[in-house]
Amino acid sequence: MAFRLAPRSIWQASNRLTGLPRVTATRALQHARTYAVSSDQNPRTAIVTGSSRGIGKAIALRLAQDGYDICVNDIHANKPGAEEVVSEIKSMGRNAIHYLADVSKLSEVEKMVETSVSELGPLNTMVANAGIAQVKALLDLTEEDLKRMFEVNVYGVYNCYSSAAKQMIKQGGGGKILGAASIVAFKPFALLSHYSASKWAVRGMTQAFAMEMASHNITVNAYAPGIVGTAMWDLIDEELGKLKGAKKGETIKKYTEDLIALGRTSVPEDVSKVVSFLTGPDSDYVTGQTIVVDGGIVFT
């Protein structure tokens, strides 16, 4: 049945609408928020955990390129790599320090934040990138396997989020906090069950932090890489290959061909570009999100 509205009704409705108050540009701007530190404020500083190699290194170098002074973090075993990253950043004309700490230990993270602020200046950005992976069947997992996975991937992210947030609140002026999730935070992989569970936890914690930090003008987001050509994925490829009788490199090649829409394995720089956006001013109205950067495996 066709529905008709009499011309007089339209005129009356239009007449009533003209009496409503208009939201002017000036009034809208009263509600604007600035989360990140202005790009012209010098220096901007960031801590990037697990940044002696792989995705973390790419992030540290990209943020230095974006104008940040960087605290490069990793564990003691990766000290040479951390020192090399610091040298690369300094060669770019930015300041950098390395700080060796295990992110699963809150006291060490708190000391790292304190040292970064002391040597580089107020903390503007925290990138909780450090993480571990393990290939193992669910029924073969030990209590220690689960404990260690969550200590690094979940407690470690919480330690970084909370320590950075407290420092940013103390400073005033807001900030940016980011964490490393994964595509398995959306769709778990078989034989990576506890790793997948830990990344689901990161995604959930990121959303919760975003809600509670919003009143402090701190945005909290995560990035979710897919299959990346890093040491971690070399390990996953090797271990999955052992279980399935595949040669080294065959598993990651098959995953790339079968799963990735763009048809190539990711490189760390694919991820660092997304992190650059999330730490920059163009993402000031983005919070609580986990951004997938996987070439088209998981579609959200």
Could you report the per-residue pLDDT of 146-187, keeping only the tens digit for each?
999 999 999 999 999 999 999 999 999 999 999 999 999 999
CA angle 210, 216, 219 (to 5 degrees): 35
pLDDT score of 226 more than 70: yes
Q: Which residue has the tokens 């060669």?
A: 91
Mean pLDDT of 245-251: 81
Mean pLDDT of 254-270: 92
User: 40 CB contacts (<8 Å, ≥6 apart)?
Assistant: none
Catalytic one among 35, 99, 161, 195? 195
Could you report the per-residue pLDDT of 29-70, keeping only the tens digit for each?
343 444 444 445 568 999 999 999 999 999 999 999 999 999
pLDDT of residue 40: 52
Active site residue 199: yes
User: 180 CB contacts (<8 Å, ≥6 apart)?
Assistant: 50, 55, 127, 128, 129, 130, 131, 157, 202, 222, 223, 225
Active site residue 247: no
Q: Which domains does the chain have, with CATH numbers?
A: 40-226+268-293 (3.40.50.720), 227-265 (no CATH)
Report the run of H or E that residue 99 belongs to, with start and end.
strand 96-100
- Which residues sit opposite 126 in a β-bridge? 47, 177
- Assigned token pair, 19: 């009496």
Over the chain, what is the mean pLDDT? Answer: 88
Residue count (the chain): 300
- Which residues sit opposite 299 in a β-bridge? none
Catalytic one among 199, 244, 273, 285? 199
Report the run of H or E that residue 180 belongs to, with start and end.
strand 175-180
